[in-house]
Amino acid sequence: MLNILKLTSVLMLTVIGSLNSDKALGDMISKSDPTFLYGDKLEFSVLRNGAVVGNHLVTFKKRNRDLEVTSKFNLKLSLLGIPIYKYQYDSVGYWSDGMLMSLNVDVNDDGIKKRNVVIREKESFWVNGIKIDGPENSNLFPTNHWNADVLQQGRVLNTITGKVNLTNIQNEGQEVIAIRGGDIEASKYSYSGDLNVTAWYDREGRWVKLKFKGEDNSDIEYFCLTCNTIAGRLDD
């Protein structure tokens, strides 16, 4: 069962690559404010083969040019009404002028605990005490999907493993997806390489859906609970 449930690590992953056809989207997002895009929170139900097994909540607190982002993910599987597996993920990230400054991640994988600590120092990042160098003025995006600037990058920090991942991404065009309260049109992106997932962003660059296969070939999907409220407020 634990081997099957390794799918939880994928639930938190964001992947990146070149999106020449979507440069305009990237330019727009880099200048945007996530608290304007999402308000103070973004919330999803997590479904496995159509059944709700958990939730993912991202909250935003802005202080002038600084931003605090918390991400909480909880999953529980039961058999005949008896809990058989639990997974919890908690992270707190601090950003300044759109740059990641620090990140603390705590994972409880059915009783097995792990922590990853990321600290920015000038143009370098220290991950669990190991230095990760990057090009001048580079950013390091963690595997949290809310920030669409990640679509312009060539690397991403896997907050589960504490390692830098590389992958490719392809735009598959527009698609109508379901959210709480109705349907919206969103851009579909397929990721391949180290990770194989599909993510959707609406026309404003807001993350609205995620889907992938679990290791047991089950269908894992994020269903947005707050997107209808967000879209309604911003489009009025």
Q: What is the pLDDT of residues 37-92, one digit of tens each?
A: 999 999 999 999 999 999 999 999 998 889 999 999 999 998 888 988 899 999 99
Task: Determine the average pLDDT of the residues in 212-232.
Answer: 80
Query: By the 8 A CB rule, do 127 and 162 touch?
Result: yes
pLDDT, residue 40, reads 94
**How many CB atoms lie under 10 A from the CB of residue 112?**
9
Q: Rounded distance, CA 236 to CA 228, Å?
A: 12
Q: Find residue 68's DSSP bridge partners.
A: 61, 94
Give the pLDDT mean for 164-180: 87
Q: What is the mean pLDDT of the chain?
A: 81
When comparing pLDDT for 196 and 71, which is higher?
A: 71
d(CA 16, CA 42) in angstroms, rounded, equals: 21
What is the residue extent of each domain of the chain? 4-230
Question: Nearest Cα to 70, choosing from 34, 45, 37?
Answer: 34
